Structure 1
Amino acid sequence: MSITPTSKVLDIRGAQLGVTDSGADDLPVAISAHGLSQSRAATIRSGIGDYRLVGSPEAPGGHRRLISYDARGHGESSGSTNPADYTWPNLALDLLALADYYSPSAPVSGIGLSMGTGTLLHAVTHLPNRFDRLVLSAPSTAWQTRATQVRMYAAMADLFEHGTPDELAAAMKDAPLPAVFADVPGYGLQPDVDLSLLPAVFRGAGQTDLPPHEVIAGITQPTLIMAWATDPGHPVSTAEKLHELIAGSELVISESSADVRTWPRRAAAFLAR
């Protein structure tokens, strides 16, 4: 049995989060968390990180009740100008609150993309028993590779705070696009975050990192890791290290946007095992 997806706004830890609920109440729950400066709507527009198939009757092996949401400060969700609100450990508390709301008595499956993967890893290492399976897609720079990305976030925050409209437009136009997405028109060019919040969002991203190696190594849930190539902000090396640390995990590396678009089907099949 399936139901028409419904959207609403929930008060979660002082923020109003836009949430879409796909699937019948009696299905096991999966929660999907998007990437930095993106949203539910942005993933649908680009087709990158759109995991709606997981909540569809067409999902291979059977579907789940998919809960997708806009992180605080993103899309239809409210936010603040406090950078600490956008660190991955804080965003993880929002994800855990949603898990408690939609599945108070049973563990959920987690699906993350980029920032969402960082959020999910902090959530599962904070409260492991709340999760049964993990899909970690497009893991961001982490640990020794993160310093360059942190400097870029700081520069972006300063630009959004002090730059002129022409400077902002030029920065968007000149933003490097990974070769893997050269055939995806407009991918990543327009942040789905209010301009007044963008400096705090980027500064928060720059103040955070994945949990330490020894903490990640304690993850016992079945885990699927999917990375795309040619993107310094999401290096394959992070995915490979996660694969090394999480016993029994599976690793997929995609060299084209067409292969990245297979991720929802891979995720659905993995969660249905």
Structure 2
Amino acid sequence: MRRLELFDIDAVAAGRRLLTYDQRGHGHSTGRAVAEDYRFERAATDLLGVLEAAAIDEPIDFAGSSLGAAAVLCAALAAPERFGRLALLIPPVSWEAGPRPARQWYADTARRIDEIGPAVWRKEWAQAAPLPIFADYPQAKFSPDVPDELLASVLRGVGLSELPDPDALAALHHRTLILAWDTDPLHPVSTAARLHVLMPHSTLHVARSVADVKTWTQRTAEFFGG
């Protein structure tokens, strides 16, 4: 989100201690070419490990997008006392029904990368049409910050994942802000809306324009400050 110039985590954290980290296999964090390493449950274990390594004992307020949102939901179920308020930005697709789930994109894309190679795939990705909500926003084009040798495995791991059982999520009592944007099949409004129904102390905002997405920094800051 920061790379897209849509969300300013530094502004959200003004006056607070800020801890950020790169997910396994992303950015400066290393990883293996093993799909199971990139499932949501493993991302949750890594998150709890970061908190342990940082010697953080008090509950933290957490903001995470996509895989980060999935990680904190799994982590909050495993260790609810470690978290205060949660901001879930573009939660990933989950709980799908039907013969052609949207998350099949991950397996199909991993197979395409195996066939043509990561470099060629990144060129194809760069030339693909943006999500409709970002049709007039050039900054929305980016390449995944994952090493070429891990790219297919990361996608497969995410594609194998599902958000936690709905009944379990309904037992979470953390105050939660859910932020979704329209027209994204891999982060659909339907998943965000179901999370809102399930989680008893949640608020949902759906953005339908870039200008609306850019209100998320202020919304999150106010949520954490309230």
Q: Distance in 2 between matches of 1:54 and 1:165?
A: 35
Could you tell me how far 1:173 is from its partner in structure 2?
3.6
One-letter amino acid of the counterpart of residue 244, structure 1: V
Q: Distance in 2 between matches of 1:253 and 1:128?
A: 26
Could you tell me how far 1:149 is from its partner in structure 2?
3.0
CA separation of 1:145 and 1:175: change in aligned 2, threshold 3 A = farther
After superposition, the C-alpha distances for 1:233-254 in whole angstroms (9 at most, x for unaligned) are 1111111111101112111111
Q: Distance in 2 between matches of 1:165 and 1:124?
A: 34
Aligned counterpart, 2:165: 212
> Contact 2:25–2:31 (CA<8 Å) still a contact in 1?
yes
One-letter amino acid of the counterpart of residue 52, structure 1: D
RMSD: 1.9
One-letter amino acid of the counterpart of residue 65, structure 2: L
- 1:1-273 to structure 2, matched below 5 A, reads 43-56=1-14, 63-144=15-96, 148-164=101-117, 167-169=120-122, 171-273=124-226
Could you tell me how far 1:171 is from its partner in structure 2?
2.6
Structure with more contact order per residue of length (Cα contacts < 8 Å, sep ≥ 6): 2
Could you tell me how far 1:176 is from its partner in structure 2?
4.1
- TM-score, normalised to structure 2, is 0.92
Could you tell me how far 1:110 is from its partner in structure 2?
1.3
SS in 1 for 2:18: strand
Which one has a larger percent helix, Structure 1 or Structure 2? 2
Could you tell me how far 1:185 is from its partner in structure 2?
1.3
Unpaired runs of at least 5, structure 2? none
The number of aligned residues is: 225
> Contact 1:52–1:264 (CA<8 Å) still a contact in 2?
no
Q: Distance in 2 between matches of 1:178 and 1:252?
A: 18
CA separation of 1:165 and 1:86: change in aligned 2, threshold 3 A = closer
> Contact 2:48–2:75 (CA<8 Å) still a contact in 1?
yes
Q: Distance in 1 between matches of 2:164 and 2:118?
A: 37
Q: Distance in 2 between matches of 1:93 and 1:118?
A: 12
SS in 1 for 2:180: strand
CA separation of 1:166 and 1:225: change in aligned 2, threshold 3 A = closer
Q: Distance in 1 between matches of 2:55 and 2:63?
A: 15
One-letter amino acid of the counterpart of residue 145, structure 2: D
Q: Distance in 1 between matches of 2:197 and 2:2?
A: 31
> Contact 1:175–1:189 (CA<8 Å) still a contact in 2?
no
Which one has a larger percent strand, Structure 1 or Structure 2? 1
CA separation of 1:77 and 1:157: change in aligned 2, threshold 3 A = same
CA separation of 1:164 and 1:95: change in aligned 2, threshold 3 A = closer
Unpaired runs of at least 5, structure 1? 1-42, 57-62
> Contact 1:46–1:184 (CA<8 Å) still a contact in 2?
no
CA separation of 1:268 and 1:186: change in aligned 2, threshold 3 A = closer
Q: Distance in 1 between matches of 2:111 and 2:168?
A: 33
> Contact 2:25–2:146 (CA<8 Å) still a contact in 1?
yes
Further displaced range: 165-174 or 100-109: 165-174
One-letter amino acid of the counterpart of residue 70, structure 1: D
CA separation of 1:45 and 1:137: change in aligned 2, threshold 3 A = closer
SS in 1 for 2:56: coil
- TM-score, normalised to structure 1, is 0.77
Q: Distance in 1 between matches of 2:51 and 2:221?
A: 19
SS in 2 for 1:136: strand
After superposition, the C-alpha distances for 1:5-35 in whole angstroms (9 at most, x for unaligned) are xxxxxxxxxxxxxxxxxxxxxxxxxxxxxxx
CA separation of 1:217 and 1:195: change in aligned 2, threshold 3 A = same
SS in 2 for 1:161: helix
